[in-house]
Chain A
Amino acid sequence: MTTDEHGVPAGVDRDLVHLMNAVFTDYREAHPHPRTSHLDTELWSHLDRLGLARLTGSEATGGSGAGWPEAAELITAAARRGVRIPLAEHDLLACWLLEAAGAPVDGTVRSACLLDESGRATAVPWASSVDRLVVVWPGPAGHLLADIDARDLRITPDTNMIGEPRDEVSADLSTLTGIPVSADLVSRFALRAALVRSLQVCAALDTILELAIEHTSTRVQFGRPLSKFQAIQHLISDIAAEAALARAATEAALSTALDSDWSASNVHFRVAVARSCAGHAVSVAVRNAHQALGAIGTTIEHRLHEYTRAALAWRSEYGSVQHWDSVVTQAALRAGEDGLWELIAD
């Protein structure tokens, strides 16, 4: 993936990226303190009218026919302005599942989840706010998929630490009928979901870095801006370095996935690497940014928490950092001494 001088990936329309940024910037100007725990249907309709709600859906089913590079820009634009909205859950997960399974898709807002054998799923994003849920569950002869009216599911609302809906969903599996889907589709769903969070974490890290530079360049103590102190420069350089590593690993995972249409044998490893690097980058960025911003950065008035707390929340979704570290560990143990380099470089 290459980018032009404005940081827009090659092949992505610059005007489209400008539009995405403008929509969320305008929204935040009009809503300085948005509620995160419910879906803003007005914003959703606006995004839908602009063709951004189902950005990657096929045009035949009412989507905009774009791809992951555009979707990544959209997710990033929302995250960088602290706008919480289930664009990825709807487009990249739920509607993608329907299209992949050959099921009909319409304009209804959706999320998606994997139910366990007992028909339960926890921390399902936005389940309590959407109209329909695409659910996948293990049947006796393989996985099954159904597109269900949210009112027909038991949904116990909950949220993550930044107030985004992360609900418990349960269904009586004996009453559901579903379309058979492959195990491969189920594992792709998990990888796509994990990579979405990685992209969101990268966006939050970049904003944390910008806020830290902005604050330390303007805040004067001992007669100089904080940014002129080496100790502060080192705190912020380390945020920048970790954010760059998270991004390099995330972009590599996305490229590997897209180049092979998610079929390459190392997509799982690359996604795990991305989640590990992004997850640990959050530790450094959150710690150092709050240190550099001082007490004001810990208040609700300051915007920093919209990114530090979001980064902490997102790095732990679709698997903890430790989970992804373990996935990489297991891959390394299987590769052994003689295969470790090939695992990394090939």
Chain B
Amino acid sequence: MSTRLVPPATREPAGSTELRAEVRAFLSEQLAAGAFTPSVDAWLCGWDEAFSAALAERGWLGMTVPKEYGGHGCSFLERFVVTEELLAAGAPVAAHWIADRQIVPSLLKYGTELQKREFLPAIAAGRCFFGIGMSEPDSGSDLASVRTRAVRADGGWTLTGTKVWTSGAHRAHAFIVLARTSPVDPAHRHAGLSQFIVRLDGPGVEVRPIVSMSGGHHFNEVILDEVLVPDEMVFGEIGAGWSQVTSELSFERSGPERVLSTFTLLAATAESMAAQQIDSDAGLGRLVARVAGLHQMSVAVAGALERHESADVPAAVVKVLGTSTEGDIADFADLRAGDDSRITPSLRALITEAVDQRPGFTLRGGTNEVLRGVIARGLGMR
């Protein structure tokens, strides 16, 4: 048995240095124009449709979408490079994040021609935003237990149930719902699940805010009351929902957003230490080194995904380490932010945001406890 869980590093594609430079120049312009303020967890909290539109104009949305569907025909690694730069800068990318990260690869893999024509050009243009409809009040980590039902109706399916933690549902246009299309078979719990594209402004759909403890509104509960979904909005195959959902998890788990959610805070903390507002401490170097190592590791996983290799275990490794480090950065800074500290108000604000967002880092996209189980399975322990 090999204990090598993460593939060796991949060289970044030719031209990535130039691409990074282009994105950095764009970000400097945007910052100079006051278009955004770098923030913590901006891929969840930074909803800015004008910024998304500006990215679309540069060709940085729907990068992996083929040109015939309004995209840019770029590689997954090129998208990786662009998103890494945006996240490191704390840019407000929440509006398009789910659509661009998750819905694009899913549509390309499972979408019908009609669905691709309808959604891909709009996503690439920054005009169509998506949410995720997986979790339910009684189904968190145990996704196979979802209870939202889809019942055959004339020309489609009628969906009834409740989805939770749908980020951006109050502003997005549609979400992909995982629902049960046949009753639970205790011997095959993962069978009988299907996915549907559901418009959030349609009849029978009610979006209720779930306000975070900091007062922010990012999450929602979405109640589906006999929502009619036409046959052409069935996503993928009826009954194949589980494999569709799980096959895309590596994209969701190994991305730079699992490492860089607090990078702006790390950078601001370094600045504060350099200005001797906080004491010099080698603990900062430990965190910078981890982020640097994780950058190498997530590039390696991106390379594996580009080569269509299975990457569920290395993606879990990146996410466990990356999200823990994101939280450690929040704590490192917070430990130095007393009422006697000489830190700037802007750093103090970043720290407050970071400690408030921190619990979510190791929950969303699969809790670290579940992911450690994925790693253990990869090691042959279960």
Residues in A lying within 8 Å of B, measured CB to CB: 1-3, 7, 9, 206, 209-210, 213, 216-217, 227-228, 230, 232-234, 236-238, 240-249, 251-252, 255, 269-270, 272-274, 276-277, 280, 322, 324-338, 340-341, 343-346
- Chain B 82-105, CB-CB to A under 8 Å as 1, else 0, gives 001100110000000000000000
B282 near A322 with CB under 8 A, answer: yes
A345 near B88 with CB under 8 A, answer: yes
A340 near B266 with CB under 8 A, answer: yes
Q: Name the interface residues of B272-319: CB closer than 8 Å to any CB of A.
A: 273-274, 280-286, 288-297, 300, 314, 317
Q: Of residues A232, A280, A328, A334, which shows the largest number of chain B Cβ atoms within 10 Å of its Cβ?
A: A328
B354 CB → nearest A CB, Å: 15
A234 near B372 with CB under 8 A, answer: yes
B300 near A341 with CB under 8 A, answer: no
B375 near A345 with CB under 8 A, answer: no
B282 near A251 with CB under 8 A, answer: no
- Chain B 6-22, CB-CB to A under 8 Å as 1, else 0, gives 11111000000100100
A237 near B379 with CB under 8 A, answer: yes
Question: B8, B17, B266, B317: which contacts A9 (Cβ < 8 A)?
Answer: B8
A240 near B317 with CB under 8 A, answer: yes
Residues in B lying within 8 Å of A, measured CB to CB: 1-10, 17, 20, 84-85, 88-89, 263, 266-268, 270-271, 273-274, 280-286, 288-297, 300, 314, 317, 320-321, 369, 372-373, 375-376, 378-382
B58 CB → nearest A CB, Å: 19
Please measure, in the bound complex, the distance between the C-alpha atom of A266 and the C-alpha atom of B294, giving whole angstroms: 17
Question: B3, B291, B382: which contacts A344 (Cβ < 8 A)?
Answer: B291
CB-CB < 8 A to A248: which residues of B? 6, 9, 293-294, 296-297, 300
A291 CB → nearest B CB, Å: 15
Chain A residue with minimal CB distance to B38? A337
CB-CB < 8 A to A234: which residues of B? 369, 372, 376
A233 CB → nearest B CB, Å: 4
B293 near A341 with CB under 8 A, answer: no
A236 near B381 with CB under 8 A, answer: yes
A292 CB → nearest B CB, Å: 11
Chain B residue with minimal CB distance to A280? B286
CB-CB < 8 A to B280: which residues of A? 329, 333
A217 CB → nearest B CB, Å: 7
Please measure, in the bound complex, the distance between the C-alpha atom of A183 and the C-alpha atom of B4, giving whole angstroms: 38
B292 near A325 with CB under 8 A, answer: no
A245 near B381 with CB under 8 A, answer: no
Chain B residue with minimal CB distance to A216? B381
A76 CB → nearest B CB, Å: 12
Chain A residue with minimal CB distance to B273? A333
CB-CB < 8 A to B6: which residues of A? 244, 247-248
B235 CB → nearest A CB, Å: 32
CB-CB < 8 A to A244: which residues of B? 5-6, 297, 314, 317, 321
A252 near B282 with CB under 8 A, answer: no
Q: Of residues A210, A217, A252, A274, which shows the largest number of chain B Cβ atoms within 10 Å of its Cβ?
A: A252
B379 near A240 with CB under 8 A, answer: yes
B285 near A337 with CB under 8 A, answer: no
CB-CB < 8 A to A206: which residues of B? 3-4
Please measure, in the bound complex, the distance between the C-alpha atom of A273 and the C-alpha atom of B273, giving whole angstroms: 19
A245 near B294 with CB under 8 A, answer: yes
B270 near A336 with CB under 8 A, answer: yes
B289 near A325 with CB under 8 A, answer: yes
B4 near A7 with CB under 8 A, answer: yes
B373 near A230 with CB under 8 A, answer: yes
A-B contact pairs, 29 of them (CB 8 A): A7-B4, A213-B380, A228-B381, A230-B373, A233-B381, A236-B376, A236-B381, A241-B317, A242-B321, A244-B297, A245-B293, A248-B6, A248-B9, A248-B297, A249-B293, A251-B9, A270-B292, A272-B285, A272-B289, A273-B293, A276-B286, A277-B293, A280-B290, A325-B286, A325-B289, A336-B274, A340-B267, A345-B85, A346-B17
Further 10 A-B residue pairs, CB within 8 A, beyond A234-B376, A345-B84: A206-B4, A228-B382, A233-B382, A237-B372, A240-B379, A241-B375, A252-B9, A276-B286, A344-B288, A344-B295
Question: A237, A273, A274, A335: which contacts B376 (Cβ < 8 A)?
Answer: A237
B284 CB → nearest A CB, Å: 5
CB-CB < 8 A to A217: which residues of B? 380-381
A321 CB → nearest B CB, Å: 8
CB-CB < 8 A to A7: which residues of B? 2, 4
B254 CB → nearest A CB, Å: 12
A341 near B270 with CB under 8 A, answer: no
B229 CB → nearest A CB, Å: 38
Please measure, in the bound complex, the distance between the C-alpha atom of A247 and the C-alpha atom of B285, giving whole angstroms: 18
CB-CB < 8 A to B271: which residues of A? 336-337
Task: Evaluate whether A241 and B320 lie within 8 angstroms (CB atoms) in the complex, with A210-B3, A332-B284 already known.
Answer: yes
Please measure, in the bound complex, the distance between the C-alpha atom of A220 and the C-alpha atom of B84, giving whole angstroms: 45
Q: Of residues B7, B270, B369, which shows the largest number of chain A Cβ atoms within 10 Å of its Cβ?
A: B270
Please measure, in the bound complex, the distance between the C-alpha atom of A245 and the C-alpha atom of B307, giving whole angstroms: 21
A243 near B3 with CB under 8 A, answer: yes
CB-CB < 8 A to B382: which residues of A? 227-228, 233
CB-CB < 8 A to B4: which residues of A? 3, 7, 206, 247
B168 CB → nearest A CB, Å: 26
A277 near B289 with CB under 8 A, answer: yes
Please measure, in the bound complex, the distance between the C-alpha atom of A241 and the C-alpha atom of B372, giving whole angstroms: 9
A328 near B285 with CB under 8 A, answer: yes
Minimum-distance CB pairs A-B, first 3: A328-B285, A329-B285, A276-B289
Please measure, in the bound complex, the distance between the C-alpha atom of A145 and the C-alpha atom of B268, giving whole angstroms: 44
CB-CB < 8 A to A249: which residues of B? 289, 292-293, 296
A103 CB → nearest B CB, Å: 35
Question: A216, A237, A238, A251: which contacts B8 (Cβ < 8 A)?
Answer: A251
Question: A237, A241, A272, A341: which contacts B89 (Cβ < 8 A)?
Answer: A341
Please measure, in the bound complex, the distance between the C-alpha atom of A144 and the C-alpha atom of B263, giving whole angstroms: 44
A325 near B293 with CB under 8 A, answer: no
B9 near A245 with CB under 8 A, answer: no
A341 near B8 with CB under 8 A, answer: no
Please measure, in the bound complex, the distance between the C-alpha atom of A31 and the C-alpha atom of B252, giving whole angstroms: 49
CB-CB < 8 A to B17: which residues of A? 346
Please measure, in the bound complex, the distance between the C-alpha atom of A200 and the C-alpha atom of B380, giving whole angstroms: 25
CB-CB < 8 A to B2: which residues of A? 7
CB-CB < 8 A to A246: which residues of B? 293
Please measure, in the bound complex, the distance between the C-alpha atom of A337 and the C-alpha atom of B17, giving whole angstroms: 20
Please measure, in the bound complex, the distance between the C-alpha atom of A332 and the C-alpha atom of B282, giving whole angstroms: 10
CB-CB < 8 A to B297: which residues of A? 244-245, 248
A329 near B290 with CB under 8 A, answer: no
CB-CB < 8 A to B283: which residues of A? 325
B381 CB → nearest A CB, Å: 4
